[in-house]
Structure 1
Amino acid sequence: MDLSPTFFELQFLFAESIVRVSHLNFEEALLDFTNLYMQFPIDRSFDPTHPVWQAYLTGLRQAPERAMWTYTFYQHKRELHSPYPYGCFHYSYLPEENTIRYHFANADMSGSGPLSKERMPVRLQELKMMFAKIKKQYGDIPTVRGNSWLYNIDAYRRLFPVQYTQAMKVVDGEFQYMSLWGQFLQRDGRVHRHLADAFLSCLQKSKTIEGLASCFPYQVLSPQSPIALFYEFYEV
């Protein structure tokens, strides 16, 4: 997905709102309350002194159009990912937690919505293949954990065992991740205008960081369960 300048501008406006209600300056707010650092990409340290981040800020200070400068910098630095091995999904194993984390991205080229009823059999087959591989490699020991705004959507939840999504924790402080910001994006990387407009209207009225956080249409939710539920659900 190719992100748009409008998506970056939306994050700039959120950062400006953070500055208004906090002690942070604009560049600190960009680092702590937007997804920009992760998009260039650098790493997950969020080190304000990292040379790539500093190069970005230097250009931003001089740029006549901040969103276009950010888009250009992003295009230059972004990594073009190879297709996910399981269609719209891939996974990682966290040994320190003995946990499987899986990730979703729209790699559906059919022209239909990736979470539409028409494409649900394809998504389920992708997940079946993925969990068959996980079972072969890790057996019955790991747990499975998700982390995304997408769990607010029935079309996403129906891809997983019902027991898995019955009790989900709300995850706060995800301002630096696409697990929160992804809710504003259409399939082509453009911004959902009606969501963005409602979000910006809410920001203007909010006077605390907590109030600004509540302006996001959806919260980030995190389900977790034993992996045996998935093996049974996908019949692997």
Structure 2
Amino acid sequence: MSPSNSMLECYFSLQLKFAAHYAVKAAVPIDVAIDRCTNLRRRLNLWGNAGETQWHRFLARVQSTGSDHAAQLASCAEYQRPHSYPELERSFGCFSYDPPDATGTLRIHFLPPSGLKSSPLAVENVGARMSDLRDLFAHVQRSAPMATTVRGVSWLYNLHAYRRLFPLAYSASVQAVRFPLHLNGSSTWGQVLNWRQEVKAAVRDQLLARLDDMSVETPWEIFQLQAKVATSPIDVFYEQFS
């Protein structure tokens, strides 16, 4: 079962409010704020070259609505698309990856699929998550032999339940981010949702209460948990998951 429309509306609504506040603070149009400060492009499945045209049409539509929040939400529902095949091909249970960049660095991501019966990070599900990683890195080893390094940037590295899934060298590398963060993925926004893909009321309320504290230069700092970064040679993953 996919997340319900009402669940997605709550998430989209929160992001639109965040973007509206940023737009005022930064003195930029709402479409610019949405592009900079939300992960709506990913959540609407308009990422990459295939979604480029529709994404810009969506931004133009939102811009034309002015401050009409209901109309902006309706635009989200209108422009949302199914996941693309390439994205699904690189997804393994709760984990997915981006192809290695020019330096051989492969980014991993965590997003629980719908239909789970319990938290994907619960003790009883550690074996399933290890299996996800085993499948992912077997696929990487076959299809992306140029990968040399694994890197992750996420709020989840604050949690022992997440760090315990990885090789020790990778978990031990976790540290504070010392570079500007992007808010167009789930590395920060993901903490707003529980494993059922429902908005956490307490996290939402805390975020809304801190909107006035937002800095234009570092808007992510008003989130409760800050994203952290982890990195290690890919060989340590092959050794553990092969």
What TM-score do you get using the length of structure 1 for normalisation?
0.82
Give yes or no for the alignment of 1:23 onto 2:27.
yes
- Determine what percentage of the aligned residue pairs are the same residue: 28
After TM superposition, the structure 1 stretch with the greater mean CA deviation from structure 2, 21-30 or 121-130, is 21-30
3-state DSSP class of the match of 2:153?
coil
1:51 pairs with 57, 62, 71, which one? 57
- Quick check: 1:40–1:73 contact (8 Å CA) kept in 2? no
How do 1:64-143 and structure 2 match up within 5 A?
65-66=70-71, 68-74=73-79, 77-80=80-83, 86-107=92-113, 109-138=115-144, 142-143=148-149
Q: Please list the CA deviations of residues 158-217 of structure 1 after superposition, one character each: whole Å capped at 9, or x if unmatched.
A: 11012212233515331222222111012333210001111111113x163256432111
1:208 pairs with 210, 215, 219, which one? 215
Give yes or no for the alignment of 1:217 onto 2:224.
yes
Whichever residue aligns with residue 92 of structure 2, its letter is Y
Q: Which runs of 5+ in 1 are unaligned?
A: none
Q: Which residue matches 2:37?
A: 33
- Quick check: 2:95–2:111 contact (8 Å CA) kept in 1? yes
Q: Please list the CA deviations of residues 120-153 of structure 1 after superposition, one character each: whole Å capped at 9, or x if unmatched.
A: 0111122123223333445596111112221111
Change (3 A) 1:63 1:69: farther
What TM-score do you get using the length of structure 2 for normalisation?
0.80
Change (3 A) 1:153 1:81: farther
Aligned-residue offset at 1:108 = 6.7
Change (3 A) 1:80 1:131: closer
> Whole-Å Cα distance in 1 between the matches of residues 198 and 147 of structure 2?
40
> Whole-Å Cα distance in 2 between the matches of residues 105 and 233 of structure 1?
22
RMSD value, Cα: 3.0
After TM superposition, the structure 1 stretch with the greater mean CA deviation from structure 2, 135-144 or 45-54, is 45-54
Q: Which runs of 5+ in 2 are unaligned?
A: none
Q: Which residue matches 1:163?
A: 169
Aligned-residue offset at 1:61 = 3.9
> Whole-Å Cα distance in 2 between the matches of residues 190 and 232 of structure 1?
36
> Whole-Å Cα distance in 1 between the matches of residues 98 and 215 of structure 2?
36
- Quick check: 1:38–1:176 contact (8 Å CA) kept in 2? yes
How do 1:141-152 and structure 2 match up within 5 A?
142-152=148-158
Whichever residue aligns with residue 209 of structure 2, its letter is S
How many pairs were matched up? 231
